[in-house]
């Protein structure tokens, strides 16, 4: 079973669920007749497709999404977009755990939502921000689940990528750092001798992603940018089957972001408990990065070396 980013997918499913439960309220408030209601009932497949419009907002460190769903719903119910956007935002914000447990959602999706906020913008769009708690849940889920991309074909990749060395170097560097950390006992990986570099995280069993104040330990701007790039890649995998050209672009962006993050944060040195937590969280981020790069290289039919 393929696993993609839960961020955009989770938001889409939650918005759809809340829109469904709000339809009756919107219909009553707009005083639409019963016959008209039957004609105007929201059909997710015909009107919204498989998910509502959701756009990733470019930001160097934050993970933000924008939905213009209120503008699409307002004409159907004869109410202002401001009202629709406010109702949806309030319904999502007020959702409690008891009602979440009644939904056919997976546990990671439920807990992820606890670290996401929504607000109505001046243009009546819904702005979602993925906060550190949700990012930590997302990264941890990626650590413990298999990762595959919905690739259609990459047989033409060799003609599009003239120099794969930077991508291979980034993957090999991730592997070397993880193996060194495993040998020194800072972390433990199962299958650390695997020639395919398909390792499983063993220790610490619970990766210390967050500080006591629930801020990400990988908080350097370069690490934040790397997390943002990983999220972009996995969101794109969840939306469509990537082309060879897109795969190359994704691999280049992730490898470049990794190189900057690697230079910005030297892992070794301080051995205080807080420093060790920080180092282990950074290594967790490196394992996610290595897995994404490995999948991209495999999809491009390019060797993913453990060392160079």
Provide CB contacts within 8 A for 237, sequence distance 6+: 2, 4, 5, 149, 150
Q: Reply yes or no on whether the pLDDT at 53 is more than 90.
A: no
First CA to last CA across the chain, in angstroms? 31
The predicted pLDDT at position 43 comes to 39
Q: Reply yes or no on whether the pLDDT at 36 is more than 50.
A: no
Average pLDDT for 85-91: 84
Tokens of residue 3, six digits: 């696993």
CA-nearest of 105, 171, 111, 137 to 5 is 137
Tokens of residue 50, six digits: 């498989």
Q: What is the pLDDT of residues 197-222, one digit of tens each?
A: 788 999 999 999 999 999 999 999 99
Average pLDDT for 37-49: 37
**Which residue do the tokens 């039957």 mark?**
38
Q: Which of 20-24, 47-51, 129-133 has the lowest mean pLDDT?
A: 47-51
Provide CB contacts within 8 A for 176, sequence distance 6+: 306, 307
Average pLDDT for 154-179: 85
Average pLDDT for 36-40: 35
Three-state SS for 67? strand
pTM value?
0.83
85 with 123: CB under 8 angstroms? Answer: no
The predicted pLDDT at position 2 comes to 38
Average pLDDT for 140-164: 73
Q: Reply yes or no on whether the pLDDT at 39 is more than 50.
A: no
The predicted pLDDT at position 193 comes to 60
Average pLDDT for 145-170: 76
**Which residue do the tokens 């592997």 mark?**
175
Residue that wins the pLDDT comparison between 196 and 124: 124
Tokens of residue 210, six digits: 């967050």
Tokens of residue 297, six digits: 């290289």
Most confident option among 71-80, 225-234, 252-261, 294-303: 252-261
Q: How many CB atoms lie within 10 A of CB 257?
A: 22
Q: Reply yes or no on whether the pLDDT at 239 is more than 70.
A: no
Q: What is the pLDDT of residues 101-111, one digit of tens each?
A: 554 444 555 56
The predicted pLDDT at position 7 comes to 55
Quote the Cα angle for 250-241-287, to 5°: 45
pLDDT band at 16 (very low <50, low <70, confident <90, very high): low
Average pLDDT for 167-175: 96
| Average pLDDT over the chain, rounded to an integer | 78
The predicted pLDDT at position 1 comes to 30
Whole-number percent of the chain with pLDDT over 70: 70
The predicted pLDDT at position 8 comes to 55
Average pLDDT for 90-114: 58
The predicted pLDDT at position 206 comes to 93
300 with 155: CB under 8 angstroms? Answer: no
Tokens of residue 93, six digits: 């914000």
Q: Reply yes or no on whether the pLDDT at 28 is more than 90.
A: no
H helices of the chain, in order, are 6-30, 34-40, 69-77, 81-94, 97-100, 107-113, 132-143, 157-160, 165-184, 221-239, 244-264, 273-299
The predicted pLDDT at position 157 comes to 62
Q: How many CB atoms lie within 10 A of CB 123?
A: 13
């Amino acid at each position: 079973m393929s696993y993609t980013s839960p961020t955009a997918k989770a938001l889409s499913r939650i918005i759809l669920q809340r829109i469904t439960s709000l339809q009756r309220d919107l219909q009553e408030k707009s005083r639409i007749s019963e016959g008209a209601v039957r004609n105007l009932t929201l059909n997710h497949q015909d009107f919204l497709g498989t998910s509502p419009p959701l756009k990733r907002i470019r930001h160097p460190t934050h993970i933000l999404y924008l939905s213009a769903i209120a503008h699409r719903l307002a004409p159907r119910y004869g109410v202002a977009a401001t009202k629709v956007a406010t109702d949806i935002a309030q319904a999502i914000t007020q959702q409690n755990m008891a009602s979440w447990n009644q939904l056919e959602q997976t546990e990671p999706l439920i807990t992820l939502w606890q670290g996401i906020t929504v607000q109505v913008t001046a243009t009546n769009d819904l702005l979602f921000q993925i906060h550190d708690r949700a990012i930590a849940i997302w990264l941890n889920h990626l650590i413990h689940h298999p990762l595959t991309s919905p690739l259609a074909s990459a047989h033409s990749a060799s003609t599009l990528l003239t120099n794969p060395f930077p991508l291979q170097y980034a993957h090999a560097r991730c592997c070397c750092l993880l193996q060194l950390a495993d040998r020194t006992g800072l972390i433990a990986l199962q299958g650390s001798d695997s020639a395919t570099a398909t390792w499983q995280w063993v220790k610490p069993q619970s990766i210390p992603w967050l500080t006591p104040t629930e801020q990400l330990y990988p908080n350097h701007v370069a690490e934040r940018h790397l997390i943002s790039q990983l999220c972009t890649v996995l969101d794109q995998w969840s939306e469509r089957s990537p082309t060879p050209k897109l795969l190359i672009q994704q691999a280049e962006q992730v490898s470049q972001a990794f190189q900057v993050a690697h230079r910005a944060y030297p892992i070794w040195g301080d051995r205080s408990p807080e420093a060790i937590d920080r180092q282990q969280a950074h290594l967790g981020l490196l394992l996610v990065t290595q897995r994404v790069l490995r999948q991209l290289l495999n999809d491009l039919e390019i060797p993913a070396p453990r060392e160079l």
